[in-house]
Amino acid sequence: MEKTLRISKIRDGTVIDHVPSGKGIRVIGVLGVHEDVNYTVSVAIHVPSNKMGFKDVIKIENRFLDRNELDMISLIAPNATISIIRNYEISEKFQVDLPSRLVGVIKCKNQNCITNTHEPVESEFEIVSKHPLVIRCVYCERTMGERDIFS
């Protein structure tokens, strides 16, 4: 517990907890955090956890996540918990939920897929399996694993 406290409390923003140890950087990646963002992001890596052994924790100040971002996090960290902080208080806390379909969240890895053209459709995937993660493009029917999705 002591180690998580090393990251100071945030006034407003989002805390992503219970991310599998080592996956925190990947979460930051899909949230599009880069050097010229206008908000502060703290990442604690390899934090001791009663439940998980070790975990990563991410705190993002003054930023809240949309549906697509939550869907992406659920792919990387199916058991992550999200706390929304307002005025130093947890105003909402929930677990991410892997949806049965992912719409408009990720691009199909298949370069020859019709969704990678200028057609008026969003990408759409069905979840074939959660462990290990396998998703299938509803259009070209190709399957993608975790490595394909995040590379």
Partner 1 sequence: MLKNKSIVSIEDVDSDDLNDLFDLADSMLKTIEKGGSTDLLNSRIMATLFYEPSTRTRLSFESAMHRLGGSVITVSDVKTSSVAKGETLADTIRMASSYSDIIVIRHPLEGAARLASKFANKPVINAGDGSGQHPTQTILDLYTIKKETGSIDGRVITMVGDLRYGRTIHSLIIALSKYDVRINLVSPQILKLPDYVYTKIGDRSRIKEYDDLSSVIEDTDVLYVTRIQKERFTDQNEYQSVIGSYSVDKELVSKMKQKSIIMHPLPRVDEIRPEVDELPQAKYFKQAYYGVPVRMALIYRILGE
Task: Name the site residues for partner 1 (rule: CB under 8 A).
Answer: 108, 110, 112-115, 117-121, 128, 134, 137-143
Tell me the pairing of strands 53-61 and 81-86: unpaired
Nearest approach, Cβ of residue 142 and Zn ion (Å) = 5
Nearest approach, Cβ of residue 67 and partner 1 (Å) = 22
Nearest approach, Cβ of residue 71 and partner 1 (Å) = 21
State the Cα–Cα distance between residues 63 and 149, nearest whole angstrom. Answer: 24
Question: Smaller CB distance to Zn ion: residue 12 or 148?
Answer: 148
Contacts for 55 with CB less than 8 Å, ≥ 6 apart: 17, 18, 19, 20, 21, 47, 49
Question: Smaller CB distance to partner 1: residue 7 or 138?
Answer: 138
DSSP state of 8: P
One-character DSSP codes across 5-16:
GGSPP-SSEEEE
DSSP state of 120: S
Residues 63-122 that bind Zn ion (CB under 5 A): 108, 110, 113
The one segment of 9-17, 19-27, 90-98, 129-137 that binds Zn ion by CB under 5 A: 129-137
